[in-house]
């Protein structure tokens, strides 16, 4: 098969994206992009205030996840996560 025959638009990932974003994310394992420490999202340290939430690595204090709610949008910055492993409730 040619590369063009394997390429689909983002709608093709709709099912797995729907599964991903209904999971309990506190059980997901995240790897910090700053120090490489891996642990459950629930162990990150939250710094929240009126502008949003910042979750920091408990090992090196790197901002791992940022969440800001604006009018009609929820903005999520995952640039501090090197890898995220989310337990699936659907067996394949």
Are the C-beta atoms of 65 and 81 separated by less than 8 Å? Answer: yes
Whether 5 has a pLDDT exceeding 80, the answer reads no
Q: Number of C-alpha atoms within 13 angstroms, CB side, residue 38? A: 8
User: Which bin fits 14, alpha (ψ -120 to 50), beta or left (φ > 0)?
Assistant: alpha
Confidence of residue 90 (pLDDT cuts 50, 70, 90): low
Lowest mean pLDDT: which of 23-27, 38-42, 81-85, 87-91? 87-91
Dump pLDDT digits (tens) for 50-87. Answer: 789 999 999 999 999 999 988 989 899 999 999 999 88
User: What whole-number distance in Å separates Cα of residue 85 and Cα of residue 92?
Assistant: 16
Q: What is the pLDDT of residue 92?
A: 56
User: What whole-number distance in Å separates Cα of residue 55 and Cα of residue 57?
Assistant: 7
């Amino acid at each position: 098969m040619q590369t063009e025959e394997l390429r689909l638009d983002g709608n093709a990932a709709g099912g797995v994206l729907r599964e991903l974003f209904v999971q309990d994310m506190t059980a997901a394992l995240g790897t910090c992009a700053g120090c490489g420490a891996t642990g459950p999202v629930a162990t990150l340290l939250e710094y929240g205030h009126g502008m949003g939430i910042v979750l920091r690595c408990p090992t090196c204090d790197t901002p791992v996840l940022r969440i800001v709610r604006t009018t009609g949008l929820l903005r999520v910055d995952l640039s501090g996560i090197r890898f995220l492993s989310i337990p699936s409730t659907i067996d394949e």
